[in-house]
Amino acid sequence: MIENPFTYALELFSGANRSLGQFATDPHWGSVVEWARFEAWRRAGDAARIGEAKVNIEPVADGTAGLPYATGFKVRLTHRRTTLGESVFSQTWFDQLARDASATRVAQGELKAGETFYFKLLAYPRPVDAPAKASTIEVVEIWQPIPLKMSDLQSLTAQATPVDDPHPDDVPVFIPHHVIEETATMTEKAGANETGSILIGHLRCDPGTRQIAVVVTAIIPAKHVEASRDSLTFTAQTWSDVDAALTLRQSDEIILGWAHSHPGKFWCNPQCSAERRRECAYMKPFFSAHDRTLHETVFSKPFHIALVVTNTDVGMIHSLYGWQRALIHPRGFHILNSNRPSTAVAAKTGDPTHEKTCPITAS
């Protein structure tokens, strides 16, 4: 059962502190509830009680102004008066909703495109609902934990090369070197078009520390995608191929995420100088709005990851993205069985800003 007794709104201000009014929000809370359950399961390991736990979402009051002003919200899981876990989310979680609201003000001429703005988060007690009608159907959500395999994570780490400074609070991700090589080869063969694949493997648990890790074992190339120079779409046949491959392999593997390429050296203006091309935003890792939408829609589990292979003038750059407090962020990872350091460049989210002379807008 989910209890959410507050509604939320955003109060927008221009960079000059001019009020742009309030916007009611109706966010989808599924991702934050999923994250809170995953974190509780990861730390407590009590799958049965977490599956039955009551979920309560409530605002974190601003310490100075007090409610209705809030600095974020928290999700608490309780089972028979016992707290199983609590996850706190800052108002950063509302950033995209604020950007959407600002677009409305730009369209109305109250805010200039590109003008700086900021917002405050507001939380109001939800009006008491009218009694439910007899015909109302109650939907009961059943949370299913993912099967775990036991592994000594310390020995895995000893065999691995860290990339992009893995954060100790993140679930560790291990990707075999052969997967890195295979995705690089696919990217090279695809040339100016994007290409993609599905990452499969296991969630593994250290028997001593109970720490959970994502361990990729292989990729399943997406042969039936709709791919072009600047987009990639998985088709129904892709998922049929994945199901068939998982059945054939008989290794109890699950889908852990996806990989896709950014043909950066083909996106950049070929007339630019070598120096300008080195600084081109398309030559550096990023996670676009299109990538984000696909990840949010298809790969919404807290452990799902996205491996991006950027094809540049100086070679392939691998970067990883994943969920962190129900938001998609760049993250570090480990390459297994690698005898040489990998190219590591700070990854970014969002579409890059680039020269207007470039031929296309990447996705």
Phi, psi torsion values for 273, nearest 5 degrees:
-70, 160
Structure tokens of 150? 């036991």
- pLDDT bin (cut points 50, 70, 90) of residue 116 is very high
Q: In this predicted structure, which of 51-55, 58-62, 250-254, 325-329 has the lowest mean pLDDT?
A: 51-55
pLDDT of residue 236: 84
pLDDT of residue 139: 42
- pLDDT bin (cut points 50, 70, 90) of residue 348 is low
Q: Say yes or no to pLDDT of 38 above 60.
A: yes
What Cα–Cα distance (Å) separates residue 349 from each residue in 162, 183, 196, 321? 21, 20, 18, 9
- pLDDT bin (cut points 50, 70, 90) of residue 176 is very high
Q: Say yes or no to pLDDT of 340 above 90.
A: no
pLDDT of residue 132: 40
Q: Which domains, ranges and CATH numbers included, belong to the chain?
A: 2-125 (no CATH), 148-349 (3.40.140.10)
Q: In this predicted structure, which of 165-174, 180-189, 192-201, 225-234 has the lowest mean pLDDT?
A: 225-234
Span 294-322, pLDDT tens digits: 999 999 999 999 999 999 999 999 999 99
Cβ burial, residue 221 (10 Å; 0-12/13-18/19+): middle
More confident call, 46 vs 161 = 161
Cα separation, 95 vs 119, in Å, equals: 9
Average pLDDT, the chain: 86
Span 62-110, pLDDT tens digits: 999 999 999 999 999 999 889 999 999 999 999 999 999 999 999 999 9
Residue-by-residue DSSP string for 254-278: EEEEEEEEE-HHHHS-TTS-HHHHH
What percent of the chain is predicted at pLDDT more than 90? 63
Q: In this predicted structure, which of 18-27, 47-56, 240-249 has the lowest mean pLDDT?
A: 47-56
